A = this chain, B = another copy of it.
Amino acid sequence: MNYVSRQTLERLPVYLRFLKSQCIDGPINTSAKTIAEALSLTEIQVRKDLAAISDGGKPRIGYITKDLINDLEDFLGYKDVNDAIIVGAGKLGKALMSYKGFAEYGLNIVAGFDTSDEAVGTDEEGKPIFHLDRMEELCRRMNIRIGIITAPADYAQRIADKMVKSGILAIWNFAPAHLEVPDNVLVRNENMAASLAVLSKHLSEQLMNS
């Protein structure tokens, strides 16, 4: 499979979502132009992205929708299930635990962990919340590779350390904290502050010009 840049990789699920959304009564073929227009991208970019992960479309016809969906799902690994655990069973943590949509992406959150007496021992949509002390053992036993951090920032680094020790290789970090991890471990920050900065900058520019 070809090399795919970070930017391309992030667009692929967007293409897939669009293709699936039109699939029910959908056209047999879809052109790069159609996709580009629907998603406010350029035709050329869509073609280049798709060239990297599909066997290619046919001139004058476009891509076979069904095959393209298939290729995207293959490449993104949506058909394999990745088990994950989540640390921090506050409101955000519980919201993610009970979100049904992740199944579509092959993400399966198997359990939550916390240290508070209130949370530990309860369930969230049938998913158990254990004490943090039991995390390593469960991760090892179940071969968990993905960890999600929804704990307060002060604990984030310690949790990340614990995750690394438990064999986790990819961390999805919702805490406003920079995490230090070994090279083979990837951290993806869901950086709310960055998003807010972009929103609020746009706002101040808009209001300035009026």
> Which A residues are within 8 Å of any B CB, using their own CB?
4, 6, 9-14, 17-18, 38-40, 76-77, 82, 90-92, 94-96, 98-99, 101-102, 105-107, 145-146, 169-170, 172, 176-178, 180, 184, 186, 188, 190-204, 206-207
Contact between chains at B9 and A198 (CB < 8 Å)? yes
Residue in B closest to A14 when the chains form the complex, CB atoms: B178
Contact partners of A10 in chain B: CB under 8 A: 191, 194, 197-198
In the bound complex, CA of A18 to CA of B178 (Å): 9
**Central interface residue in A92, A197, A207, by most chain B CB within 10 Å:** A197
B82 touches A197 (CB 8 A): no
B170 touches A200 (CB 8 A): yes
18 cross-chain CB contacts under 8 A: A13-B193, A13-B194, A40-B180, A77-B201, A92-B95, A102-B192, A102-B196, A105-B197, A146-B200, A146-B203, A169-B202, A169-B206, A170-B200, A172-B196, A172-B199, A186-B198, A186-B203, A190-B195
Question: From residue A118, how far is it (CB to closest CB) to chain B in Å?
Answer: 15
Chain B residues with CB under 8 Å of A188's CB are: 195, 198-199
Contact, CB under 8 Å: A178 / B40: yes
Q: How far is the CA of A82 from the CA of B206 in the complex (A)?
A: 14
Chain B hits for A204, CB < 8 A? 77
> CA A202 – CA B82 in complex, angstroms?
12
